[in-house]
Structure 1
Amino acid sequence: MKNKYILLLLFIFPLIGNAQLYTKKQIDSILQEEVSLIRDGKLEDALLLNIDLAEQSAKINYDNGVSIAYIRIANILCMIGRHLESLKYLNLADKKVSVKNDPLLKIRIYSIYGRNYSALKIIKKSIDYFNKGIDLCKKTSPINNRLLSNMYSNKASAFLSTDNKLDSTLIYLHKAIKTKESPFRYAVLANYYLKVKINNDSATSYLNKCKELMQRYDVTEYHKSIILQAQANLYKSTGNYNAAIDYYQQSLDISHQIKKYLEIRLSYKLMSETYELLREEKKSHEYLVKYTQFSDSINNLYKKDLDIIINNFLKEQEDTHQKTENRMSFLFGVSILLSIVIIIVITYYYRKKRLSLITEKEKVIKQKEIESDELKQKINEAFTELTSLAKNNDPSFLVRFQEIYPNVCEELLKINPKLVNTELSLCAMIWLNFSSKDIATYTFVQPKTVQTKKYRLRKKLKIPSDKNIYSWLKGL
């Protein structure tokens, strides 16, 4: 495949050197190469190829070539976690493609929109796009079963982040397989039964079906990584931890190669958990640190993307408001006039009453300020006292903390009554916003040990992986 791609480039470069442009036929031919590159996991090569083809198509006014290239660039960017850039290319493609002229391209656009918003946890918008794609698939003749099945599968994945995830996810996974079988979809269904339904027999059955279909279907590198991960999950659930580690590592290697950041993060977490089951604490901690660091970097990337998306959404709303402003101007003017009249009447009424109440209000405000200052002073004194007890590793630290902040430990014990005093003390220090370094110093342990204790605490309290433990505890 690599030699074929090199020959293709050798064919292209002489044309460029002679200042000749691609023809539509040449562009269509080269576009076919992108499918093989994606299948082989050569995402960067595929990305560069499509960027070049978008530019060449634009030079000869080949709009269809430009649209296809934009859609494929957006798809690759979505695959490697660059969701903001992916959405920008989708917006460009969306303006060029109409449902009437090319419904299949429009379906692909809806699919990638849905996957981007699902990854960014904007679930309602994600499901809306998948529904658009599903409706459009059903209206095309003949129905493209592969695209429809992909839509069902992606919609099932999006539902995992909703309250009704169990029923809806399973319904759409089965719809996806019923529409068009594939090894990847059976692996996804097996994973579902391993992680959500906890049914090893069903998972084994679907993985066997997956292996059977792999004899007849070509599998992309990404799909191969998911299948390997599903097999590892099965080994882990049946106690064959060494085999699970081997398959997780194979899946992780592929994810690194094709830059699938979410799958890399998940593999780190799963390997840490499996090494913990093997009682290999050093290895478990090593992968836990990798998972934590990778999670932080991904969360920061998503937060940045999400902020910009929100700003773009606000701009869209402003544009929509501008378009309707002329039609609403009369009603708006009447509303403003009526509001002014009401304000004048209310102001006149309350101005008369205010003269008699102003002295009393000032007294109340002054008293509130005094109480607020006293409360702040008490809080500062309590915090200073607790900090001193923590620094001295005083056994009475937890007792004093419970006296000052009784609700915190009560709420924690409601969540998990089996929490011991050392875990409650750690929670108290986190609640007081002590850093991991501070906690390690006060309790005479290494910072890595504090990180491990935090991770175990997250599991006992069932704190979601995307939640900051400090913010979560403060929210009790």
Structure 2
Amino acid sequence: MVKKLTVFFFLISSFFYSQHTEKELKNVLFDIDFSAAGPKEIKKIDSLIKVCKKDSYNDCAALGYLKIANIYDKMNDTKKSFYYINKVEKENLINSDTDFEVIFYLHMQKSFLYQKLGERVESFKQLEEIYDEAMKTGDAYFIYLINRQYASKYDEVNKKELSLKYNRTAYKYSKIYRENKGNRYRIDKNRLSNSYKTSAYLGGIYTDLNQLDSAKIYIEEAIHNEKKVNDIGIKYITAFYAGRYFKAVKNVKQAQYYLWICKNIAKNYYKSENYQIAVAGELKALYESLGQKDSIGYYSNWLLDIESLSSEQYQTLNDTVDQQNELENAERKKETKSLFFILSLSIAACLLFIFLFLYYYRKHKSKNLDKIDIPHQMPVQESIFKEVIQLAKENNPEFLTRFNEYCPHFSEELLKVSPLKISEIRFCAYIYLNFSTKEIAEYTFTSVRTVQTKKYNIRKKLNIPSDMDIYVWFSKLLK
């Protein structure tokens, strides 16, 4: 009966959603209230993803997976969150034509994941790979989101001044987003709520820096803004930083009031340990300052329970990551064996061809004894080409130098189109030499996804039309 209802629901959803464009389906995704989302919303998104895949709306399907991953993260199911992040790449939803919005959210979600694992370097790396591109878009929403994430990570490692710098940038662009001059942005509840949170974050960092006059300004602004949007997320953030501020100025009554609001929201809506640990720690510190032993004991035990559950979650997630790495390594070995087999056959075929060629060549020459048998000399250009290919496969630092000797006008022509960096010209050389994405990844010791992202960025910088193959474009560059 349940299966029949599920199929019926999917058919109804498919009929409804199939009448929409990809942009409209994306808007349906963004309109799903994240703060209160749970299993019901996940089923709705899953149905929407099936419709997107049916219509080959890959960007929409990828965003759907990332939205589900975000909801599972909020529900403290990190294993499922990781599973849905992984599906984006497993189903090959990312390619050179993928919209930057999808790449942006994928990196953001991965950054959250690595932060949970305690791998700060990798977490920062995920943001660094998209920061410049996000800033170049001029999109206020992307700019304030990524700067807010940088601020969060610097705050975590206690670099308060850097956190303040990025928080102020996030605050500035969140206001630009809300002003929405020229109706450039789509203003929905989730994005609007996120944009208002920047006031509370700024109040929080000023509280940490003991600049309480500045903190007061932004906390009051946050409390005022919180009334503009009926959203659990902004209520939690505002209450949390307001509670910290009032604790700092010794206003116990107000601190208790806001932190209790925060605690109730965390217990009912945010199962992720990050939310619960934060408010439990603040309440424990508040009652320690008051010397209330019963309350201290209560929140100490709550913290221990959260940390115990968190430890189990981290272990599960680490095991999942390890299993995924093992699968990827096994797949890579399988591909290497297949490639070796193909190369062996190719070499054997080439040797056979050379043998036959020499046989008939000598046979033909024997009829012309008056001709001198001069050994074949390899043309200079062919010799350089083979050397360039070998240097590329070895990822040798000399590769670009020898490549420029082989194609002396290549770099010059590229720089006429766009002021590329040396590393980008080197990457373009690999494409010009017709290496595939997998080959480039193998020779440069990077992931296939990283190569795809670089191709996307190069396509943008060189203004390569979306309907033109990037290899075709490079093949015409010197003609």
The TM tier, using the shorter chain, reads: 0.5 to 0.7
> How big is the shift at 1:175?
2.2
Question: Quick one: which of 80, 83, 94 aligns to 1:85?
Answer: 80
AA partner of residue 194 (structure 1):
T
Match of 1:207 in 2: 219
Structure 2 Cα separation of the partners of residues 57 and 97 of structure 1:
14
Question: Quick one: which of 243, 247, 257 aligns to 2:254?
Answer: 243
Match of 2:128 in 1: 131
CA 1:85–1:17 in structure 2 vs 1: closer, same or farther (change >3 Å)? closer
**Is contact 1:275-1:281 (8 Å) kept?**
yes
> How big is the shift at 1:272?
2.2
AA partner of residue 126 (structure 1):
S
Residues 1:55 and 2:55 aligned together: no
AA partner of residue 283 (structure 2):
M
Question: Quick one: which of 202, 206, 220 aligns to 2:231?
Answer: 220
Deviations 1:180-204 (A, max 9, x none): 2333112112222334x23322321
**Is contact 1:115-1:126 (8 Å) kept?**
yes
**3-state SS, counterpart of residue 33 of structure 2:** helix
User: Which structure: greater helix fraction?
Assistant: 1
Structure 1 Cα separation of the partners of residues 8 and 26 of structure 2:
16
What does 1:366-385 align with in structure 2 at a 5 Å threshold?
none
AA partner of residue 226 (structure 1):
I
Of structures 1 and 2, the one with the larger relative CO (CA 8 A, separation 6+) is 2
Deviations 1:151-208 (A, max 9, x none): 111122123344x72343222222222332333112112222334x233223212213
Match of 1:396 in 2: none
Residues 1:194 and 2:207 aligned together: yes
> How big is the shift at 1:323?
6.1
Structure 1 Cα separation of the partners of residues 9 and 83 of structure 2:
32
Structure 2 Cα separation of the partners of residues 18 and 175 of structure 1:
41
> How big is the shift at 1:236?
1.0
Residues 1:172 and 2:166 aligned together: yes
Deviations 1:363-392 (A, max 9, x none): xxxxxxxxxxxxxxxxxxxxxxxxxxxxxx
Residues 1:267 and 2:279 aligned together: yes
> How big is the shift at 1:123?
0.9
**3-state SS, counterpart of residue 131 of structure 2:** helix
**3-state SS, counterpart of residue 36 of structure 2:** coil
Question: Quick one: which of 295, 298, 302 aligns to 2:314?
Answer: 302
Structure 2 Cα separation of the partners of residues 42 and 169 of structure 1:
29
**3-state SS, counterpart of residue 96 of structure 1:** coil
CA 1:284–1:32 in structure 2 vs 1: closer, same or farther (change >3 Å)? same
Residues 1:118 and 2:115 aligned together: yes
AA partner of residue 251 (structure 1):
C
> How big is the shift at 1:113?
1.1
CA 1:240–1:14 in structure 2 vs 1: closer, same or farther (change >3 Å)? closer
CA 1:175–1:20 in structure 2 vs 1: closer, same or farther (change >3 Å)? closer
**Is contact 2:199-2:221 (8 Å) kept?**
yes
**3-state SS, counterpart of residue 180 of structure 1:** helix
Match of 1:432 in 2: none
Match of 2:441 in 1: none
CA 1:252–1:296 in structure 2 vs 1: closer, same or farther (change >3 Å)? same
> How big is the shift at 1:297?
0.6
AA partner of residue 166 (structure 1):
K
Structure 2 Cα separation of the partners of residues 48 and 255 of structure 1:
23
> How big is the shift at 1:130?
0.9
What does 1:37-48 align with in structure 2 at a 5 Å threshold?
37-38=32-33, 41-48=36-43
Residues 1:252 and 2:246 aligned together: no
Deviations 1:92-122 (A, max 9, x none): 2243033533111111111111112112211
CA 1:308–1:257 in structure 2 vs 1: closer, same or farther (change >3 Å)? same
Question: Quick one: which of 198, 207, 212 aligns to 1:185?
Answer: 198
CA 1:36–1:292 in structure 2 vs 1: closer, same or farther (change >3 Å)? same
**Is contact 2:59-2:102 (8 Å) kept?**
no
Deviations 1:406-444 (A, max 9, x none): xxxxxxxxxxxxxxxxxxxxxxxxxxxxxxxxxxxxxxx
Question: Quick one: which of 59, 69, 73 aligns to 1:74?
Answer: 69
> How big is the shift at 1:31?
5.4
Unaligned residue ranges in structure 2 (runs of 5+): 176-194, 342-479
**3-state SS, counterpart of residue 97 of structure 2:** coil
* Range with bigger deviation, 81-90 or 57-66: 57-66
> How big is the shift at 1:224?
1.8
> How big is the shift at 1:25?
0.8
Deviations 1:301-332 (A, max 9, x none): 11221232244345545655776789999xxx
Question: Quick one: which of 281, 290, 294 aligns to 2:302?
Answer: 290
Aligned length: 314
Match of 1:373 in 2: none
Structure 1 Cα separation of the partners of residues 14 and 144 of structure 2:
44
> How big is the shift at 1:128?
0.9
Deviations 1:236-275 (A, max 9, x none): 1111223212211111222223224221222222222222
**3-state SS, counterpart of residue 114 of structure 1:** helix
CA 1:77–1:269 in structure 2 vs 1: closer, same or farther (change >3 Å)? same
AA partner of residue 154 (structure 2):
F
**Is contact 1:78-1:115 (8 Å) kept?**
no
Q: Structure 2 length normalisation: TM-score?
A: 0.58
> How big is the shift at 1:293?
0.9
> How big is the shift at 1:32?
3.8
**3-state SS, counterpart of residue 152 of structure 1:** helix
CA-based RMSD of the aligned residues comes to: 3.4
AA partner of residue 187 (structure 1):
A
**3-state SS, counterpart of residue 109 of structure 2:** helix
> How big is the shift at 1:227?
0.8
Residues 1:232 and 2:232 aligned together: no
Structure 1 Cα separation of the partners of residues 10 and 42 of structure 2:
21
**Is contact 1:34-1:49 (8 Å) kept?**
no
AA partner of residue 287 (structure 1):
Y
Structure 2 Cα separation of the partners of residues 233 and 149 of structure 1:
23
Match of 2:446 in 1: none
Unaligned residue ranges in structure 1 (runs of 5+): 1-9, 330-476
Structure 1 Cα separation of the partners of residues 12 and 236 of structure 2:
40
